[in-house]
Structure 1
Amino acid sequence: MMLAGGCAVMLASPAAAEVDAVVRQALELHSAGRAGQAYALLEPQQDVRAADPDYNYILGLSAADSGRLAEAILAFQRVLALQPDHSQARAELARAYAMAGDIDTAREQFDTVVNDPSLPDPVRQRFDRIVRDYDRQIAGGGTSISGFADIAGGYDSNINGATDDDTIVIPLFAAFGPGALGPGAREQDKGFYEAQAGISGVSAVSRQTRIFVSFLGTGRDHIDSGAFDQLAITGTAGIGHTLANRDVVSFSVQAQQFWFGQRSFRKSVGAVGQYTKRLANGEALSFSGEYFRLNFDRDPLRDADRYGVGLAYSARTSIISLSGGHEETRRNAGDHLSFDYLRANIGVEQPVARGLALVAGVGGQIRRHDASDPLFLARRKDEQIDLAAGLKVRLTDNLYARPRVTYTRNWSNFALYDYQRATVSFGLRYEF
């Protein structure tokens, strides 16, 4: 029997030598992990061997383990029609139903198996555990909690994202010639350390519906400079519902408090809706929409409403995302601070050896402001690219080392915002 953990396969009945050779060859292929080849060997004989339980049993195993679940279910049903007491076929039929997403029927089939008095106790105990797992899935999966903590330190060539020019010409005051920039408006390099921690919980309301909540804290401190230190706390709560086709619809609300230079800088609150389409091989396609209200503590002209939409494709080792939207200031006097934006990102975490993965990302964004800036007498235009590369080294089951380098280049038609930035850091991350 080929359930998780593995048991020996026992053929249902004797067969002729020629027939037995085909079945045994298929069994050898299946046992070697070549289920697709075993299925290809057996499939052409379905019409003439529909009444052979040995044949149908191995055909069902090969079909199930090569992703042909509907054919596997039919094959095991044919075995049981001929031999109703074949507990191995019934257990495999339950597994096929579970793989196809029909947990209720899988649970019923296993219930029949564990009530078989001839079943050995060790096998019965193992099946009891499987039944309990199915019961949890039928109830919605219970509650789970996960989280992480991350600390890192390194060097930042431009902690304030500023130009490296000492002077610039401001068009409104062009008659006075170039103006000297103060220290806070020029590029500053510093060492830094930062920390992040997050915790999230998911609880089932029903089999299809779950509620979730999470909290995330991030902080960054610059050595010998507090003017550009940052701290943010974000809370999210929402509900997700799995549809009959296994797609997921979710809605969440989110609030954030952000401190800059050790003072409260911005508060935001909003909502996010998302639809996730499940694809083959663990891949998914997500569509999202969001709205946020932004309130700036010391700069009311920047208070704004942000609207955005997004599209993301995720695979086992990579994710590609595209998003765009508009941020509209709520006061006409701040219209030059309103802007459209478009972002694109690609992230990869590719294992290269046991316990070692290469982590890399490339992203870009474009921003176009709505109105002319009163000082620069033009509409601001920015194009930015972000590059990152690093390693994720597993030290224990839950602890990782993360050396990392990043580079950012922002091109702007306003010299004050035209800059480049590089960082190098080393961190440790604990996940639970």
Structure 2
Amino acid sequence: MIKHAFFILTLNICTFSSLSVSAESNISYVKLLGELQYLISQKQYEEAYNKGKLHYEYLGEPDFDYLLGISALKSGVSAPAVFAFERVVEDKPNWYEARLYLIRSYIAANNLPAANSQALALINAPKPPDRIKTAAQTLLASSQTKQRLAGRAYSQSIELGYGVDSNVNAGTSEESIIIPNLGEFLLSEQSKSTDDNYAKLNYVGRYSHPVDQHSTLLIGVNADWYKFDELSQYDRISSNVSARYQHQRDKTLWHIQANVAPLLLDGQLYRTESSVSGGANYQLNKQASIFSALTVGVMNNAFDDKLDNSFYAFNLGAGYLGKKSYQSVTTSFKNESANIDEGEFNAKQITGIYYQANVLLSPQWQLLAQSGYQWIEHQSEHPLFLEERSDKLLILSSKLKYLANKNLALQLGLNYQDKTSNLSLFEYDRFDTNLSARYSF
């Protein structure tokens, strides 16, 4: 009996002590919450966050995590805020204010897909009040805007090179030509092939601006300046300015593009080509794709109206992406119509087939190669030779690139053209070799 009484007394003492400790702990916890709330109300966020960090034993308590998350987010510490609000939402999924703070924390941490997902979940849920859905829509718009701005990108590069062109003026190797009804004529030096050395400067600039999650605006500038050692009349500046809008839909990338390409020869505007094109690239699988485009445009020559023309072109091709290479085959057709009757002999149709390969030989070495063959059929007889001109052009080019570092590349370029024609005046071969350095920034 005495033992039984002693046991009951001991149990009561332990229970009382436990309740006392629990009550004291609860009082401390409530007091801590009050202190954190006060500091937050006074905008003393860093002090509140530092105080909350000292009481890691309360992590997992929704009220504590909520206040800890607010103080962390307002202090500019996004990762702990994300973790805190994730714990709150997991324990109390219908605490909508905590979900809004979780979205804000995701945005601050640049986890924009997660922010979008959480915002859409609130917007589409049936229970949240309208004010919560309105706030979620505002946060979704903010997240999507930040996502678009984060996708902006621009790049530039400058290339300086020196080379040798074996046929600067694309002249014939013939010494004389025979003109029907007139006889044989000796060719002037300006009509015959002439070689010269040159310096080259190239600038490339690209800017990418996301319009939305599926659409992008691309602006590009490409300019070349050639300065010859002796044949200054062939000094030239050629440039191409383009604006392209592209939209990804399922496996197809659609695009529309505008181009303006002026050419200055010996300091004067020689011609300007303007065009608009539209096309698509369809991804068959991770490696293979097919693409096509239709282009219409005009060519205006500042010196000779007989060279003005309007044209349309169509190309169709396929590409394959391997582990260390990209290869493509393209066929094209282009029709050029003279703008005035006197230039009809310059109207022509060009059919071509091209192969291109970009091969990564090693982390530092890259090889770019292209081959092409064109069939060029003029639509009217030449006024001097009284015969329709028919040409064939072989194009071979390659570039070996060495990446010295992430910004600087050294390049060796080789280009060869061989043109045959039924009119010997327009036959030529041309070999161009150059060494250059490109700096990207």
Give the structure-1-normalised TM-score: 0.67
Question: Are the counterparts in 2 of residues 233 and 256 from structure 1 also a CA contact under 8 Å?
Answer: yes
Q: 1:407 aligns with which of 407, 411, 416?
A: 416
Structure 2 match to 1:367: 376
Question: Are the counterparts in 2 of residues 364 and 386 from structure 1 also a CA contact under 8 Å?
Answer: yes
Pairwise CA distance, 1:129: 5.4
Partner amino acid, structure 2, of 1:343? G
Query: Cα–Cα, structure 1 residues 137 and 356, in superposed 2: closer, same or farther, change >3 Å?
Result: farther
Structure 2 match to 1:153: 162
- Say whether 1:132 aligns with 2:108: no
Runs (5+) with no aligned partner, structure 2: 1-81, 91-104, 117-142
Pairwise CA distance, 1:388: 1.8
Question: Are the counterparts in 1 of residues 245 and 256 from structure 2 also a CA contact under 8 Å?
Answer: yes
- Say whether 1:272 aligns with 2:277: yes
What is the CA–CA distance in structure 2 between the aligned matches of 1:386 and 1:130, rounded to whole Å?
Answer: 48
Partner-residue secondary structure (3-state), 1:392: strand
Pairwise CA distance, 1:126: 11
Question: Are the counterparts in 2 of residues 196 and 216 from structure 1 also a CA contact under 8 Å?
Answer: yes
Partner amino acid, structure 2, of 1:115? E
What is the CA–CA distance in structure 2 between the aligned matches of 1:299 and 1:115, rounded to whole Å?
Answer: 72
Partner amino acid, structure 1, of 2:111? V
Pairwise CA distance, 1:424: 1.5
Query: Cα–Cα, structure 1 residues 275 and 112, in superposed 2: closer, same or farther, change >3 Å?
Result: farther
Q: 2:349 aligns with which of 317, 323, 340?
A: 340
Pairwise CA distance, 1:281: 2.3
Q: Matches of residues 189-228 of structure 1 in structure 2 within 5 Å?
A: 189-228=195-234
- Say whether 1:321 aligns with 2:330: yes
Pairwise CA distance, 1:117: 7.1
Pairwise CA distance, 1:407: 1.5
What is the CA–CA distance in structure 2 between the aligned matches of 1:283 and 1:130, rounded to whole Å?
Answer: 33
Structure 2 match to 1:286: 291
Q: 1:304 aligns with which of 297, 301, 309?
A: 309
Give per-residue Cα distances to partners, 1:397-422, cap 9 Å, x unaligned: 12111112221100011111101111
Question: Are the counterparts in 2 of residues 412 and 418 from structure 1 also a CA contact under 8 Å?
Answer: yes
Query: Cα–Cα, structure 1 residues 368 and 404, in superposed 2: closer, same or farther, change >3 Å?
Result: same
Structure 2 match to 1:165: 174
What is the CA–CA distance in structure 2 between the aligned matches of 1:137 and 1:385, rounded to whole Å?
Answer: 50
Give per-residue Cα distances to partners, 1:16-49, cap 9 Å, x unaligned: xxxxxxxxxxxxxxxxxxxxxxxxxxxxxxxxxx
Partner-residue secondary structure (3-state), 1:163: coil
What is the CA–CA distance in structure 2 between the aligned matches of 1:221 and 1:113, rounded to whole Å?
Answer: 65
Give per-residue Cα distances to partners, 1:378-400, cap 9 Å, x unaligned: 01111010112331111001211
Pairwise CA distance, 1:214: 1.5
What is the CA–CA distance in structure 2 between the aligned matches of 1:113 and 1:389, rounded to whole Å?
Answer: 57
Question: Are the counterparts in 2 of residues 258 and 266 from structure 1 also a CA contact under 8 Å?
Answer: yes
Pairwise CA distance, 1:277: 0.7
- Say whether 1:376 aligns with 2:385: yes
What is the CA–CA distance in structure 1 between the aligned matches of 2:398 and 2:302, rounded to whole Å?
Answer: 35
Pairwise CA distance, 1:313: 2.3
Partner amino acid, structure 2, of 1:299? D
Structure 2 match to 1:426: 435
What is the CA–CA distance in structure 2 between the aligned matches of 1:312 and 1:117, rounded to whole Å?
Answer: 54
Question: Are the counterparts in 1 of residues 396 and 416 from structure 2 also a CA contact under 8 Å?
Answer: yes
What is the CA–CA distance in structure 2 between the aligned matches of 1:147 and 1:191, rounded to whole Å?
Answer: 27
Partner-residue secondary structure (3-state), 2:232: strand
Pairwise CA distance, 1:143: 1.4
Pairwise CA distance, 1:160: 0.9
Question: Are the counterparts in 2 of residues 172 and 376 from structure 1 also a CA contact under 8 Å?
Answer: no
Pairwise CA distance, 1:267: 1.3
What is the CA–CA distance in structure 2 between the aligned matches of 1:398 and 1:113, rounded to whole Å?
Answer: 42
CA RMSD in angstroms comes to 2.7
What is the CA–CA distance in structure 2 between the aligned matches of 1:114 and 1:185, rounded to whole Å?
Answer: 79
Question: Are the counterparts in 2 of residues 172 and 375 from structure 1 also a CA contact under 8 Å?
Answer: no
Q: Matches of residues 343-362 of structure 1 in structure 2 within 5 Å?
A: 343-362=352-371
- Say whether 1:182 aligns with 2:162: no
Question: Are the counterparts in 1 of residues 106 and 112 from structure 2 also a CA contact under 8 Å?
Answer: no
Query: Cα–Cα, structure 1 residues 137 and 355, in superposed 2: closer, same or farther, change >3 Å?
Result: farther
- Higher helix proportion: 2
Give per-residue Cα distances to partners, 1:264-319, cap 9 Å, x unaligned: 11012220101111232254321100011111111101111010011132333223
What is the CA–CA distance in structure 2 between the aligned matches of 1:406 and 1:200, rounded to whole Å?
Answer: 25
Q: 2:398 aligns with which of 370, 384, 389?
A: 389
**Rg comparison, structure with higher value:** 2
Pairwise CA distance, 1:326: 0.2
Structure 2 match to 1:142: 151
What's the % identity of the aligned pairs?
17
Give per-residue Cα distances to partners, 1:92-116, cap 9 Å, x unaligned: xxxxxxxxxxxxxxxxxxx999814
What is the CA–CA distance in structure 1 between the aligned matches of 2:251 and 2:155, rounded to whole Å?
Answer: 23
Structure 1 match to 2:263: 258
Partner amino acid, structure 2, of 1:289? L
Pairwise CA distance, 1:128: 8.2
Query: Cα–Cα, structure 1 residues 210 and 166, in superposed 2: closer, same or farther, change >3 Å?
Result: same
Total equivalences in the alignment: 314
Q: 1:115 aligns with which of 86, 93, 100?
A: 86
Partner amino acid, structure 1, of 2:291? S
Pairwise CA distance, 1:257: 1.1
Partner amino acid, structure 2, of 1:187? S
Partner-residue secondary structure (3-state), 2:280: strand
Query: Cα–Cα, structure 1 residues 113 and 312, in superposed 2: closer, same or farther, change >3 Å?
Result: farther
Give per-residue Cα distances to partners, 1:210-243, cap 9 Å, x unaligned: 2221111112221111122221122111321111
What is the CA–CA distance in structure 2 between the aligned matches of 1:114 and 1:408, rounded to whole Å?
Answer: 66
